Structure 1
């Protein structure tokens, strides 16, 4: 096989891959309609899980060095991640339990935010987690009032 044949093969494969990708995007767009009525809640709950993972890792690293000052923060973040993961899943399903579960998750977010704010000036991961908690709590409150 010479270079010309190899290049033609690469071009052909690229064209096939691009066509398949375009087809998949159209199909995906057809079946999904922006996350449903709980799209914003899914986003904020997902952000809480993401920032919570970073914060929890930081807490664990600090605890591993003997610094126990982030122990309560680690507990609140663990609760947050569990609550927000479940809320996000229920929201994705448009579950009838979302409003009730959002009330509980709002309390978990508020408790985590309160604990993370104690460390926010020293630890960026705590600050980011606190901000995500505040946003999710606000979104939960909008559903429950």
Structure 2
């Protein structure tokens, strides 16, 4: 239950406050933003959710790549920089989609290409690494949503 001393505080403003506080602390906020988009009136809900899921999967995949590289296993040395590039691109895509930014379609084209590179590389490893499979699948969904936006 929300504090009674703030009657104007809604779930949405509370979630936004948590997201802002987390961002200020350097914590990831995509889950919060994606959840708000799914509940709210965001014009690009499907894109926000897809890009948020892609970002989350890319974070997990990147951590997995770094872990393996740290043990001397270089099988994911090509994957690591590609997934590393996917992270900030999807984060920016979420932000631009939530804002319905005027350059969203242009940015979605670039994001589509970055995600396609990541998906292609992750597909090479999906049989051995669940993290790569999840990332490839999330990239595919994000690519589909980007294409849908671009063609609209």
Where 1:68 maps in the other structure, the secondary structure is coil
Change in 2 beyond 3 A, CA 1:58/1:36: same
| Residue number in structure 2 paired with 1:110 | 116
- Matched residue count: 129
Distance 1:81 1:27 in 2: 25
> Are the counterparts in 2 of residues 116 and 126 from structure 1 also a CA contact under 8 Å?
yes
Deviating above 2 A after TM superposition, structure 1's stretches of 4 or more consecutive aligned residues are: 17-29
Instruction: Give the 3 Å change call, closer, same or farther, for CA 26–70 of structure 1 in structure 2.
Output: closer
Structure 1: runs of 5+ lacking an equivalent: 1-13
TM-score by length of 1: 0.79
- Greater Cα shift, 92-101 or 35-44: 35-44
Structure in which a larger fraction of residues adopt helix: 1
Cα gap change, 1:119 to 1:26, in 2 (>3 Å):
closer
Provide the rounded CA distance (Å) in 2 between the counterparts of 1:37 and 1:46.
Answer: 15
Determine the C-alpha separation between the residues in 2 that align with 1:27 and 1:56.
31
Return 5+ residue gaps in structure 2 as ranges. Answer: 17-35
Aligned partners of 2:77 and 2:137: how far apart in 1?
19
Shift of 1:19: 5.0
The equivalent residue for 2:58 is 52
> Max radius of gyration: which structure?
1
Does 2:147 align with 1:141? yes
Instruction: Tell me: higher relative CO, structure 1 or 2? Use CA pairs within 8 A at least 6 residues apart.
Output: 1
Q: 1:27 to 1:138 in 2, by over 3 A?
A: closer
Check whether the contact 1:56–1:77 (CA below 8 A) recurs between aligned residues: yes
Query: 1:27/1:102 Cα in 2 relative to 1: closer, same or farther (>3 Å)?
Result: closer
Secondary structure, in 3 states, of the residue corresponding to 2:78?
A: helix
Structure 1 counterpart SS, 2:102: coil
Aligned Cα root-mean-square deviation (Å): 2.5
CA shift, 1:116, in A, is 0.3
1:23: Cα distance to partner? 6.0
Structure-2 separation of matches of 1:43 and 1:20: 33
